[in-house]
Amino acid sequence: MFRSFGAEDATGLAALVARRDTSPEELLDAALDAVAAVNPALNAVVLAQEEAARRSIAGGLPHGPFRGVPFLLKDLGCEAVDFPSHNGSRLLADTRYARDSAIFARIRGTGVVTFGRTTSPEGGIGPATESAVYGGPTRNPWNLDHTSGGSSGGAGAAVAAGIVAMAHGSDGGGSVRIPASSCGLFGMKPTRARLPDGPYAGEGWAGMAIDGFLTWSVRDTAHMLDACAGADPGAPYWAPPLLRSHADAISRPPRRLRVGICDTTFTGAPIHPEVRAAVEAAGRLLEGLGHAVRPCLPRADVAMMMEAWTDIVACGTALGIRKALKGRAPEGLVEPVSLGAMRRAAEIPGERYLEAVGQIHAFGRQMAAVFDPEAGEGIDILLSATLAEPPARVGRFGHGTEDYVSFRTGPEGVFAYSPFTAVFNASGQPAASLPLGMSAGGLPIGIHLAARFGADEELIALCAEIERAAPWIGRRPAPLVEMPRAPLISRSGAA
């Protein structure tokens, strides 16, 4: 959609609107036409609210950095009065909200024209987006047989396919970075509590979850983070203050950094050879930019962290489901893997939950030591793959199993497929996936960079330097042209 206007990213679209080369109405029309054309193949966009979008335009859009740019919210969290949500679940279908969340209010203040939501797995607990409430899986625009990732899989697919130039996501175990890797996009998880959670929650998953964005360019993410950063009133804690804005940080290269490169998992297990080759190529790129690159295998108890993460998320999943059930039986309303999470949570006494939270905190200190020049590896950046292999085929991480623990930690489970991203949700450190690699089969391969806690500016400055040295924005999936034009959604908002 947006490239037909001569723009490569959301910042470019906003510039066209500012120059009056196009209008918010024209961009919204184009986005809705793109949904009608490609969404039947992708199943990425749901709950369209065209009337709400047109009201926001008619009422006068805020003069923010993305004024007039079409935008989509993830169908999980980001509560908004004008945008009902299924939250990825039949149990929560058509949930409406009495007030806007702090994160949505800040997003709206950028001037975007929000017109719908994007698909998410139930509870946001998987690396693929295949929730029953949407009638089928969400597919990857690069290859429809493969997943677009999760849990922000609909956002990744919508941006990669060109429906919108950027979209909202959230990340509790890699849920922005996994679809960024799967769909060839940029995705960054900020430092814990950099963005607001209120008023509907104090924190997500014991502080491991945070909102984010799927974008083509680093600058789009930088401007959106600047607009949304900061605790909301009553927040239980907040991130260290930024020394400068994200936008200022990307305006010039960072200092020369000490980069630790890991071409295995963080426990030393091998990864897919094509992914390993992409990691090694990224290391050579950074060396060519003058950074000091050396091997690094973090000394941290990843197995302990993954078990604690699994228990915390089981409890969070069970809490959300039980509140929504209001005494009803879950069968037929809740997917099998979520039922398994509820059963796992029922086996976890309160003292185990607190122990798991304590283990996550201990792990954060272990990871901090890796970046400590006095106590650990003395690195500034940890470079790895985002996923251990190219994007999985649709169905591999379906929700048909009730064995929640095996789904997460089994030999073919989520953590084997995605062993890198949740590490930094647990530690709270900023981390990003950059679309630097491609498999022989034409699927994107993401490269993962993480920095010390609070060093968001340094991380995003490095990402921008890499983008300038090895630009990816012109690499797009082939247009989805042979598609039926009857949309999966109506413009009135029915699923």
CB 285 within 8 A of CB 466: yes
| Omega before 56 within 30 of 0, i.e. cis | no
Q: How far apart are CA 297 and CA 422, in angstroms?
A: 16
The burial class, CB within 10 Å (0-12 / 13-18 / 19+), for 177 is buried
Instruction: Bin 41: left if φ > 0, else alpha if -120 < ψ < 50, else beta.
Output: alpha
| C-beta separation of 246 from 457 below 8 A | yes
Determine the Cα–Cα distance for residues 221 and 78; give it in Å rounded to an integer. Answer: 17
**401 by DSSP, 3-state: which?**
coil
* Whether residue 152 lies in the annotated active site: no
Q: What gap in Å lies between CA 364 and CA 205, rounded to an integer?
A: 15
Sign (positive or negative) of CA dihedral 463, 72, 399, 312: positive
Annotated catalytic residue: which of 85, 175, 384, 433? 175
Asked about 151 being catalytic, the answer comes back as yes
Query: What does the alpha-carbon distance between residue 451 and residue 457 come to, in Å, rounded to a whole number?
Result: 10
Length in residues, the chain? 495
Say which residues have a Cβ less than 8 Å from residue 129's Cβ, sequence separation at least 6: 88, 119, 120, 121, 137, 138, 147, 148, 149, 150, 151, 152, 153, 154, 157, 179
Q: How far apart are the C-alpha atoms of 81 and 220, rounded to whole Å?
A: 25
Catalytic residue among 56, 74, 182, 217: 74
- Active site includes 406? no
Catalytically annotated residue among 151, 182, 338, 433: 151
SS3 83: strand
Determine contact, residues 236/204, Cβ cutoff 8 Å: no
CA separation for the pair 385, 138 (Å, rounded): 23
Could you list the active site residues? 74, 151, 175
